[in-house]
Copies of this chain bind each other. A is one copy, B any other.
């Protein structure tokens, strides 16, 4: 297949551009459906008229249907997107980025999605879709999936779909309160993901900052204890990676902890842990649930993070996270590659 694409690149590069354009349009519509022409043209950066021509074409090809509420991808279109996914990734050079990233980072697998989530918010959804697909591959009946918070994970939850093949899947939050807003809390995302995936879920109701005594007594609560046990036996963990300072600021981090984070030159954050450039833990939020060491016993660890601004955080975190699957975007991947191959 590869030689065919290369040959096509040589023989008709202009047509591949067109193909790419149409693919992207269809992909967008799938992401934001139902959506109108004008809104889409604004989002995608194509003039309305040309988008209109393309849309009309795609409609004639039966790849999308078009009603007064907006445009929707048809089953035909869905299948086309799926068939062409690998090819487009190859054409866009994402495959290339993936192999380069694999050489740079000690990871098991990496998926690079087109775009930069710093610049275009919908790219997170695309990462979410990719994550959901990989998650499905790894889920089996009675799997326990632990998830963390963050906007990226929210996107993953949103793109999750139910799969009749897999039976009872249980979603749990990976760790207790970290100080996030409600929509980004692990509990919220956990519930949403379970709902979308038609699975069950258990929540962990823990106040953000506890005194030691309260903490100890809470752990002994039967309800809490049971959930904690489930969390400990999770075989899949999905988490985001954040920029340390940004995360610390977003959470209501007390001053002395903030100082500690800054003093330690933290650059990365993941489920309540702060890491410096070398991947060493600089600080951790005191809460219950999965601890960093527990990760080593979890079969599948999936990290989702994108945007050029997160490149450094991803690099730092991954240094100490072996056997992970990383799902990122073009922006972050390019930044990472650029850094490691200084010349061109």
Contact = CB atoms under 8 A, between A and B. Distances in A.
A87 interface: yes
Contacts of A18: 12, 15
A15 B18 CA distance: 9
Contact of A4 (B1, B7, B10): B1
A12 B15 contact: yes
Interface string A1-44: 10110111011110100110011000000000000000000000
Interface string A149-187: 000000000000000000000000000000000000000
Contact of A10 (B6, B8, B80): B80
Nearest to A81: B7
A90 to B, nearest CB: 10
Query: Main SS of the interface on chain A?
Result: helix
A83 interface: yes
A22 B12 CA distance: 9
A61 B22 contact: no
Interface string A81-95: 001100100000000
A21 to B, nearest CB: 10
Nearest to A6: B83
A63 interface: yes
Contact of A8 (B3, B6, B19, B76): B19
A231 to B, nearest CB: 41
A13 B15 CA distance: 11
A61 B11 contact: yes
Contacts of A8: 19, 84
A83 B3 contact: yes
Interface string A72-109: 00001000100110010000000000000000000000
Interface of A: 1, 3-4, 6-8, 10-13, 15, 18-19, 22-23, 61, 63, 76, 80, 83-84, 87
19 contacts: A1-B4, A3-B83, A4-B87, A7-B80, A7-B84, A7-B87, A8-B84, A10-B61, A10-B63, A10-B80, A11-B22, A11-B61, A11-B63, A11-B80, A11-B84, A12-B18, A13-B61, A15-B15, A15-B18
Given A1-B4, A10-B76, 17 more contacts: A1-B1, A4-B4, A4-B83, A4-B87, A6-B83, A8-B19, A8-B84, A10-B61, A10-B63, A10-B80, A11-B19, A11-B61, A11-B80, A11-B84, A13-B61, A15-B18, A15-B19
6 residue pairs, one from A and one from B, having the closest CB atoms: A7-B83, A3-B83, A7-B84, A15-B15, A11-B19, A11-B22
